[in-house]
Amino acid sequence: MARIRVCCAVVGVLALLIATNASPLPQTAVAAPESSEESGEIEGIMKEVQEMCSNNSGSDAAFLNLMESFQRTMVCSMSAIDLDSFMSDIDSLSNETRTTFFPRYCPQLRTAYSCIDKLVNDFRPCLEEDDYTIVRAMVGILPDALDLMCKNDGELLFKFEEPKYAECFDKIGDSFNECTNTFLNGTDDWDISHMTEPQCNTMTGFRQCVQDKMNICKAPDLISVYDLFHNALFRMTPCRNYVTLQKVEIIDNNAIDED
């Protein structure tokens, strides 16, 4: 049975891998030791994945194979990126240097993404079939998320650095919790593959709530990142019969030159 918490746990592991290797953060932030809270969260995710593997496969072999696959994926993804230069350039990344940073590294990050395909396949024994189908679809939109990040030399990312947006989001930060508390309480055990029309409307209400908060800061285009995941989820569930999806347009000027 496809539960929201199951899909979030699996996508969380994959997101952790991508963030570890490809996050455009200052070097000091990447190198900083994990806090006990962060370590506890990661440990909790891994424990849940281990339980899923054991419950669905009947042994610990699937989880052990998954961990080996995780390590191989780490090596593959790191070898796809000129890591020393990447970390050095991240340290000096600014609005002035982003016009050279993103065209150089976005193709490398796309190559690194291709490394996770086997890892996703190795999740199959750990998941029920409907869980795996949905997780596969969710992971499949990560290239589009990367395209959004790379679009116009990181324009979307750098909006968060602009004082007018940063100050606004800081002021309304607690308002986003209102969206979660109002719409998402009690959703952990929803069966994603059999979502009802009221449940789909709840998810649509959550999206609209987030959109309204972003509109306060005059940054409506930032919802496009969430829409990638929102739309992928809805296409794989009965929600596609009840809700019209928002179109996400990606014009990527940092794509790999195939000529």
pLDDT in tens, 181-205: 888 777 777 887 788 999 889 889 9
| pLDDT for 214 beyond 70 | yes
Shared domain check, 4 and 107: yes
In-domain check, residue 224: yes
In-domain check, residue 109: yes
Task: Let me know: does 122 contact 69? Beta carbons within 8 Å.
Answer: yes
Q: What is the pLDDT of residues 123-141, one digit of tens each?
A: 899 988 877 887 888 888 8
| pLDDT for 229 beyond 60 | yes
- pLDDT of 15 reads 53
Shared domain check, 78 and 3: yes
Residues spanned by the domain of 233? 162-248
Shared domain check, 118 and 72: yes
| pLDDT for 9 beyond 70 | no
Shared domain check, 188 and 147: no
Residue 101 pLDDT grade (very low, low, confident, very high; cuts 50, 70, 90): very high
* Domain total of the chain: 2
In-domain check, residue 2: yes
pTM: 0.69
In-domain check, residue 54: yes
- pLDDT of 233 reads 81
Mean of the per-residue pLDDT values for the chain? 79
- pLDDT of 189 reads 76
Q: What amino acid is encoded at 180 in this protein?
A: T
Shared domain check, 170 and 152: no
Give mean pLDDT, residues 13-34: 47
Least confidently predicted of 56-65, 115-124, 187-196: 187-196
Specify burial of residue 39 (Cβ count, 10 A radius: 0-12, 13-18, 19+): exposed
Shared domain check, 104 and 12: yes
